[in-house]
Structure 1
């Protein structure tokens, strides 16, 4: 029987468990022995392997996080460390690893390929910042978590007629800030892809006040600026009361949405299909709703472009 392994790496994302479930159940159905590697590449180095059966992944499709746990492993960049990981895989007669994660996880997968281990990547990151794919596991759940929080914040903002600054995750990608702003009806969205124009932000908030709006919501990605910085500048310019809310890690948790569960299941199942076809050295991507594959090197050399034209739409619709 063929032995394969699956691991989750980097930041956790809702839907990872659904992908693990699909890999294990489809893999078992096709006659594979599927091993789960705990704590990502760190567990690969330590030999933290466990054979997973069908029942081991029961009742996890609805759970956030990852039953395999996750960890960042900087030492995996070292060739000697990579060789130790390969040795552990060879001891279990494992020749293929399915890596569920983001950019850094795919680099680890590519490193394994250089040592003769076949790898397939499944995109999972709440930032939705993997090139060539329109979707990554976890983004939809995180986006809806943010929207729920903003809806609650708006109740208080309206009751006290205040301006609120909401800080969301996204050090290098403003996808969460951009799309949560559009979906929530926020007045302003600040993203790291576009240099902040605070005079314009201040003007927008002031205009909202003059128009008699009961509140203003400004959403900032952490990579653009902090909520405290933004609040201070607006307060000093307009002499108004401003409140801040940093959503933090609640954006990573919670039950995955239907969309995350569906795509995670499709991606996990497709990964097994690729193994059956002896295809590897690829990341799975979503293109116009269809599951396709892309060479790892092309994905890692690519650049995910944020549709910043939506910023104009946000401004126009928040009159």
Structure 2
């Protein structure tokens, strides 16, 4: 293993830069060349590749986003596009590839591995929607961003005696809403994994108002439905002025938390270790605070399990 490539694919996540830094420095420490592939699989197909050195990754561990930039690639999913990518790897003499991203990125890594190219997947997605790992890189930074927003919105909601729906990312996975809602003291949390009853939410609004509560925070994952429709129902059923705040892509940016930097750094180093030991087709993750690796196909097939115990705790604490 003389030359290793690294790319970031799909949605960006805070901590990607920390992982890139770890990959580059661990490789150079082991006297292996590193080629940075820009703009994900699109960049791989188009040969947007340059060699990286220690200076390439200086002063990036604390930065959000990805210095290699990212993109989604429809062309890579085609046979012609995939074959182009394989040819480019051969042209640049890249012996192994480290791919940072989520579920879709890992599917590309699996396909490359099946084509004989050793690949390692590092889970980077704010949604925390990969079932084989306890946490993905970027998740806790996104949660902190939402918790900070909840605190600010609670201030203004209290001033006006309003309810406020905060829509967060999570089309199919409600972990951001769940964790941020618990940490932020939300009165109601609405997630795709649990069918919600609008009357139950309204009951909580009325009960809080009757005991003199001046605000009501509802955290809603985007996959549940239209936040404005929920707001309209609450206004009609309770008479409480209800506003909507959609956080959107602000959740993807910002300085990564210490935890995200730590697991990103550990996974980046572990990825190099695996490739140097001729291990490919592996997905890295974290279980019980330990970095683990498993077959990437097995990882992709593990279903995400929603933490109902935590969800029930939020209902108990928000009475």
TM bin, normalised by shorter chain, reads over 0.9
- d(CA) in 1 for partners of 2:315, 2:296: 37
1:277-288 matches, within 5 Å, as 277-288=277-288
Alpha-carbon distance, 1:299 to partner: 1.1
Match of 2:137 in 1: 137
TM-score (norm 1): 0.98
Asked if the contact 1:167/1:226 (under 8 Å) is kept, the reply is no
RMSD, aligned α-carbons: 0.9
Alpha-carbon distance, 1:226 to partner: 2.4
- d(CA) in 2 for partners of 1:110, 1:311: 33
- d(CA) in 1 for partners of 2:270, 2:160: 51
Match of 2:61 in 1: 61
Match of 1:177 in 2: 177
Alpha-carbon distance, 1:225 to partner: 1.8
- d(CA) in 2 for partners of 1:124, 1:100: 6
Match of 1:31 in 2: 31
Alpha-carbon distance, 1:301 to partner: 1.1
Match of 2:41 in 1: 41
Alpha-carbon distance, 1:195 to partner: 1.6
Match of 2:160 in 1: 160
Spell out, residue by residue over 1:186-241, the C-alpha distance to the aligned partner (whole angstroms, 9 max, x if none).
Answer: 11000011122111111111111112111100000000122211101101111221
1:80-119 matches, within 5 Å, as 80-119=80-119
Match of 1:266 in 2: 266
- d(CA) in 2 for partners of 1:95, 1:191: 42
- d(CA) in 1 for partners of 2:110, 2:306: 25
Asked if the contact 1:208/1:216 (under 8 Å) is kept, the reply is yes
Alpha-carbon distance, 1:42 to partner: 0.6
- d(CA) in 2 for partners of 1:293, 1:91: 29
Say whether 1:189 aligns with 2:189.
yes
Number of equivalenced pairs: 319
SS of 2:237's partner is: helix
Alpha-carbon distance, 1:310 to partner: 2.1
Alpha-carbon distance, 1:153 to partner: 0.4
Alpha-carbon distance, 1:40 to partner: 0.4
- d(CA) in 1 for partners of 2:78, 2:219: 39
Runs of 5+ unmatched residues, structure 2: none
Match of 1:309 in 2: 309
SS of 2:137's partner is: coil
Match of 1:213 in 2: 213
- d(CA) in 2 for partners of 1:14, 1:256: 5
Which consecutive segments of 4 or more residues in structure 1 shift more than 4 A? Answer: none
Spell out, residue by residue over 1:247-274, the C-alpha distance to the aligned partner (whole angstroms, 9 max, x if none).
Answer: 1111000011111111100000010111
SS of 2:218's partner is: strand
Match of 1:78 in 2: 78
Match of 1:18 in 2: 18
Alpha-carbon distance, 1:277 to partner: 1.1
Say whether 1:203 aligns with 2:207.
no
Runs of 5+ unmatched residues, structure 1: none
Asked if the contact 1:83/1:115 (under 8 Å) is kept, the reply is no
TM-score (norm 2): 0.98
Spell out, residue by residue over 1:130-160, the C-alpha distance to the aligned partner (whole angstroms, 9 max, x if none).
Answer: 1110111100111001001110001001111
